[in-house]
Structure 1
């Protein structure tokens, strides 16, 4: 179990649980992560729904997400030797399952303020689950992977703005708006105007800021790592030189002792001290 993720309600399987549960979780966690992505198109399709068909598609996605979470969580509860402990460590998945079930049956647009708050809270939890599941891939020492992931995020964000923002008339304009949002640069030529595009821009800003921070941190780590390797190599060379000098000093000291023993052993009188006679 990951204790750090356990603080967020995504701790996985306890290390003292059964081997069957541990093996099952290795597969189930990625399926749950994939199911979490269904909430993204469902949210925006429902937000922009102008016909009953669009609303049906959105609720079908929510329903598929709920069914997938419910079946997998039920299976993990069955195979785990400590089902109550497992549910406590993975309470975030339970909350997402309940939220997807409620989203599948309630909340047609336009939403009231309370509905907006609940929907945004649900989407933040889904985004948190996705980020926590994929955090092992987004580390500062993986520059190539970060660049590829950043390009994919930019491409999808551009498509999202092209779909959601009526003032964006081409995919290139969508990419430009996505880049400005992710880099937190505002030039004033394009700006989100609809509720859907503004909500989307908020997530793009948060995700883009995080991705850019990781990319710059990875580049800095590459330069710092090169300097650290050079300093480490120089330190090892200095240590080896000092070790050789110490060995040489030991050899010279031993030779000096032998020379002193040879020169002073035959010429000096040996004085034998006897104990004093008892009175």
Structure 2
């Protein structure tokens, strides 16, 4: 996902043309977002679970405040260091939106269905920021296509789980929705949870097609990596041959000049 596409989704981060200080702080916040995503991922199951205990609810609320603080720090610190502030705001509109929505919901200004939507939107943003962070620190990975495929898979999985949670009446928790989304997309079909309504079955068909597409993208990314490695080796050999040829030509010219003298 290049920077232009990320900017369309409001997750453009810091431009490579920006100041060195802004880019350095952008990399630091990218890594912090990855760590934050890892901490928050296990809590996804409890987001829509009405039976969540008081202590778990309190812990989740603390972590959500942490998310809001980190998002706010990232946005305003990078905005302060950026040489292209208008472009930064335009390319990171999703970050600003998540700050506003999170603040409204945590302060109790959003109720009902909008409250649930705000919580879900915060988690989706964690996924998106994790994907952006993985791409920004691409040297940790073998190929850029691999973290991109992983990121899309995680996003599709969470959205699918939410879809089954609302469409299938036999699904009582978000965790069960995630499980049904996984077995549908992977075409495993254990039989413990199955879609029973027409809308849920149609959604399951879509998930199977999405699963095929994601698996194909992962395989293509791995294949592209090995092809790229072969091309890299070929380019290195060609470069080495060119250097050797130049050296030999130089020696021949010197020898020819010496003979003429």
The TM-score normalised by the length of structure 2 is 0.54
Aligned to 1:215: 218
Aligned to 1:6: 7
Answer whether contact 2:47 2:119 (CA < 8 A) is retained.
no
Deviations along 1:112-171, one digit per CA (max 9) or x if unpaired, are 4444444444443443333344355595876xx899x79xx8xxx9xx9xxxxxx9xxxx
Q: Select which of 71, 74, 78 maps to 2:73.
A: 71
| Mapped partners of 1:191, 1:139: distance in 2 | 36
| Mapped partners of 2:98, 2:212: distance in 1 | 25
Q: Which has the higher contact order (CA 8 A, sep 6+)?
A: 2
Q: How many residues align?
A: 199
Between stretches 59-68 and 93-102, larger displacement belongs to 93-102
Aligned to 1:89: 91
- Secondary structure of the 1:134 match is helix
Aligned to 1:53: 55
| Mapped partners of 1:121, 1:184: distance in 2 | 28
Quickly say closer, same or farther: Cα 1:146–1:80, change in 2 above 3 A: closer
| Mapped partners of 2:95, 2:116: distance in 1 | 21
- Secondary structure of the 2:86 match is helix
Answer whether contact 2:14 2:78 (CA < 8 A) is retained.
no
| Mapped partners of 1:9, 1:209: distance in 2 | 28
| Mapped partners of 1:34, 1:210: distance in 2 | 28
Quickly say closer, same or farther: Cα 1:191–1:138, change in 2 above 3 A: farther
Deviations along 1:73-121, one digit per CA (max 9) or x if unpaired, are 222222223333322222222222233333434499xx84444444444
Quickly say closer, same or farther: Cα 1:67–1:192, change in 2 above 3 A: farther
CA-atom RMSD in angstroms: 4.9
Answer whether contact 1:138 1:214 (CA < 8 A) is retained.
no
Answer whether contact 2:30 2:129 (CA < 8 A) is retained.
no
Note if 1:35 corresponds to 2:29: no
Deviations along 1:207-250, one digit per CA (max 9) or x if unpaired, are 9666523333346x37x959x99xx9xxxxxxxxxxxxxxxxxx
| Mapped partners of 1:112, 1:100: distance in 2 | 14
| Mapped partners of 1:70, 1:140: distance in 2 | 27
Quickly say closer, same or farther: Cα 1:22–1:98, change in 2 above 3 A: same
What residue ranges of structure 2 are gaps of 5+ in the alignment? 162-170, 172-177, 235-261
| Mapped partners of 2:26, 2:67: distance in 1 | 18
Answer whether contact 1:11 1:89 (CA < 8 A) is retained.
yes
Q: After superposition, where does 1:51-200 map in structure 2 within 5 Å?
A: 51-106=53-108, 112-135=112-135, 180-191=183-194
Quickly say closer, same or farther: Cα 1:114–1:79, change in 2 above 3 A: closer
Aligned to 1:17: 18
| Mapped partners of 2:193, 2:221: distance in 1 | 30
Deviation (angstroms), 1:63:
0.4
The TM-score normalised by the length of structure 1 is 0.51
Quickly say closer, same or farther: Cα 1:140–1:127, change in 2 above 3 A: closer
